[in-house]
Amino acid sequence: MTSQPPGEPGTQAIPTCYRHPDREAHVRCQRCERPICPDCMRDASVGFQCPDCVAEGNRTVRQAQAVFGGRAVTTPRVTWALLAVNILAYFVQSVSDQVLRDFAMYPAAVAYGGEWWRLITGAFLHSPLGSGGFALTHILFNMWALYAIGPELERRLGSTRFLALYLLSALGGSVAVYLLSAGFVVGASGAIYGLFGALFVVGRRLGYDVRGVIWLVGINVVITFAVPGISWQGHLGGLVTGAVISAVLVHAPARSRSAVQWAGCAAALLVLVAAVLLLPPFAFNDAAQIPDVFGYRG
């Protein structure tokens, strides 16, 4: 019997993929040197790596972060989503008046009907067409403001923190309406004014010239009190809430940033909820004083 010299065909077994034993593998992972088939090959800086090594490497790579925490934002998806929800809600309410009846912010319905959802849903509705005054301008201005300043704030704060800022500002505006107003109110203005306050706080924290923001807020405050039919309560509540929340987000210490930020947001939420549960609406003392809006009297 004669043996074949080393190196001749048939003297060595063809390696197979460690993940697919039935497939030939003529390439080895540059990191662990296990054989991999074409389906398991992942491009690396040099050669290819196997899926397991790629996953392990991703776990050790530090994710890019926004300036004040959270993942870095390249596309402001939360801003676009909020724009879409507001616009969609406007089309829905234009088709059915019942949407306003059931979801507008109406202090009496919250105080005497337990309809707590109105504190948030009212912030996604706007003055309906045909209601006179600045009906169409209402949603156009709010959506323009969200489009103009939302992406910048989302990139600075991170998407999740930006969403928390928006929703808490909207809630802060509604709580102020609940405590200080008797009529029904709709609009994202409380949230938008919260973004105005945040833009000022973030700008100061980063050392920017914020005089333009001061002028922007000042002009809108004048409009709020000069034009009849605008809820100054919602604007004021949103502005104060947005400024407070953003101050917590941007001044949280780096070492325990996330914990402090979310604890601050949770504390603000508890304060707003407690204000509704414990404080009476100051605009009326009992159901008999409630304006007859949509035929609702508690």
Question: What's the CA gap between 123 and 105, in Å, rounded?
Answer: 8
Pairing assessment for the beta strands 35-36 and 48-49 based on DSSP bridges: unpaired
Its sign, for the CA torsion 244, 245, 251, 252, is positive
Could you report how far apart the first and last alpha carbons of the chain are, in Å? 104
Alpha-helical regions (H) of 107-231 = 107-113, 118-121, 135-157, 159-180, 189-205, 211-226
Question: What's the CA gap between 172 and 93, in Å, rounded?
Answer: 23
The residues carrying an active-site annotation are: 189, 235
Q: Which of 98, 240, 218, 260 is nearest to 171 (CA)?
A: 240
Q: What contacts 84, CB < 8 A, 6 or more positions away?
A: none
3-state SS class at 75: coil
CA-based R_g, the chain, Å: 29
3-state SS class at 42: strand
Q: Which of 190, 153, 189 is nearest to 79 (CA)?
A: 153
Is-contact 27 39, C-beta < 8 A? no
Phi, psi of 21 (to 5 degrees): -60, -20
